[in-house]
Amino acid sequence: MAGEHEAVTPATADMVRIGSSAALRDDGILPARAEGVDIVVLRHGASLRAFQGHCPHRGTLLAEGAISNGVLTCRGHGWRFDCGTGANVDQPGICLKRFECAVEGDDVLVDRTQVLAWKRQTDDCGGVQSTTPARPLEQLPGPAGLPWLGNLLQLHHSRMHSELEQWCAAFGPIYRINLARLPAIVVADGEWIDRILHDRPETFRRARAVEALTREVGDVSVFAAEGETWRRHRRPVAQALDARHLRDFFPTLAGVTRRLKRRWEQAAADGLPVHVQQDLKRYAVDVTASLAFGHDTNTLEGEGGPVQQHLERILPMFDRRLNALFPYWHYVRLPADRAYDKAVQALRKFIGEMIVAARERLAQAPDLAAHPRNFLEAMVAAQAADDAPLSDEELIADSVTMLLAGEDTTANTISWILYFMCIHPDVQRRMQEEAAEVLGTTDVLADIHEASRLVYLDAVVHESLRLKPVAPLLHLESNRDVEIAGFVVPRGTLVLLLTRPNVLRDNSFAAALEFRPERWLESSAAAHHRSGFVPFGSGPRLCPGRSLALLEAKAALS
């Protein structure tokens, strides 16, 4: 079988198995890992190639990309690589590291010696290092605090990111705070934000408090998992949200969008006010539940429904606990905490019922196993084939995460865009003209391929995300002793990333405080430097729901 592929390997090479060739179809992509190194294996026609697993731009996992006409496109920022050579087709001089590989029987093998050499090279060139002696973290400036308490009493959970942003003006883009006797480093510098996110999950992880909170909801999910557990969760979740699945799902998205349009048109005809953000939350829930479970919750026409009610109790409390400076709920349960617990259990019960329903559908129609229509069907089919990446408890955890992550963030983004449209009528007019040209006589965006023609709308979305990011504060933690900006950050130190201050500086974006969608158009002369612009995160843990969120925004706004 090895002779069928262009994957010639010296007979004396030290080869190691990295996967099964059965997982590689034509134009197939196989994520793999050897000696702690991520690898992407590509099949295009008769050619089989193995390359470094991370995009050299921002470190996005290349296995989550797509192949078309012999070119692999990274899903992060669209960098394109030739499947045969690994060369960047748009930027000569940039090329992926290639490893010799072969197929023996059903096994895909890669040269272990080459992988280890590449690992040593990348370790030596790691992002968090300095050529000058590093100073202890205690020497990094920061706001004065109280004895024993540090800066605890100066921070409020609902305003934490704003208070941290204010200190940037006094202490610069990188400074230290103390939470009781625990030091933390605050990073608002764009280049350092990029480097830190690039070095996840090996060098930095989510703060352990985040993992503890998700375990209170149930099993650990893709959002909070680390190491090999994260890798096991990441692939099926990313596949459920990849380009092929979104293309198949788009008619359902169009149907939910049509439902939202009817609701708002009826309210306008009746002269009734519209609770825009509430309706957009219901819109996002209906979309996410349909994609994940194949279940139409129809919270838009059902005036919310149980799923929406559970999420309304869970999201605010989860956010409150995430930014809480003391886990009081471990010792006393307030009424809001008891309501939160009940909502979590009810939502878990609902998703458990969806898993049972998916299992019954597959039993009645075995052909569905080869062509699952949603995330749960794909995972249940894998369980039946004894190839299950996730247990039922893990499925519930990831499904809860998809609902939580997909509701508030998408609704808030679209709400802010509507606000900017109202105070910038010229922007609104240009959006209307573009939508009329693209949609023609159709009532909503009905063809996913037409979404790419909404160029100005895409610029409006990005400009809104720049000024009003959905995640202005990211809670991370160092996995080992590292250097950041010349200071030693010990293992286990809390690393807080502020994503907004850098993109509001004029040396990053011209007239940075102004709403100017034109700056995102290629023909625009408005200079901008995208370092640190990470509305969906960056690096290997780029938000897997990014493409869905952008599609929802385009569908709703057009």
Annotated binding residues for heme: 543
Residue by residue, what is the 3-state secondary structure of 474-507?
Answer: EEEEECCCEEECCEEECCCCEEEEECCHHHHCCC
Contact 540, 61 (CB under 8 A): yes
Residue positions in the annotated binding site? Answer: 543
Contact 460, 427 (CB under 8 A): yes
Q: How far apart are CA 21 and CA 25, in angstroms?
A: 8
Looking at residue 329, the DSSP 8-state letter turns out to be G
Q: How far apart are CA 78 and CA 511, in angstroms?
A: 27
The sign of the CA dihedral 188, 192, 194, 196 is: negative
Q: Residues near 12 by Cβ (< 8 Å), separated by ≥ 6?
A: none
Contact 75, 542 (CB under 8 A): yes
* The residue count for the chain: 558
Q: Residues near 240 by Cβ (< 8 Å), separated by ≥ 6?
A: 291, 292, 374, 375, 378
Strand partners, 497: 187, 474
Contact 473, 161 (CB under 8 A): yes
Using DSSP's 3-state secondary structure scheme, residue 77 falls into coil
Q: How far apart are CA 494 and CA 375, in angstroms?
A: 34
Pair of tokens at residue 71: 């070119």
CB atoms inside a 10 Å sphere around CB 146? 12
Nearest to 540 by CA among 225, 327, 261, 298: 225
CB under 8 A, 24+ apart: contacts of 86-89: 86/49, 86/51
Q: How far is CA 13 from the centre of its chain?
A: 38
Q: How far apart are CA 414 and CA 276, in angstroms?
A: 9
Q: How far apart are CA 359 and CA 389, in angstroms?
A: 16
- How many Cα atoms within 13 Å fall on the side-chain side of residue 45? 8
Pair of tokens at residue 102: 């072969």
Determine which helix (DSSP H) or strand (DSSP E) holds 170, and give its type and residue range.
Answer: helix 160-171
Phi-psi region of 148 (alpha: psi -120 to 50; beta: other; left: phi over 0): left
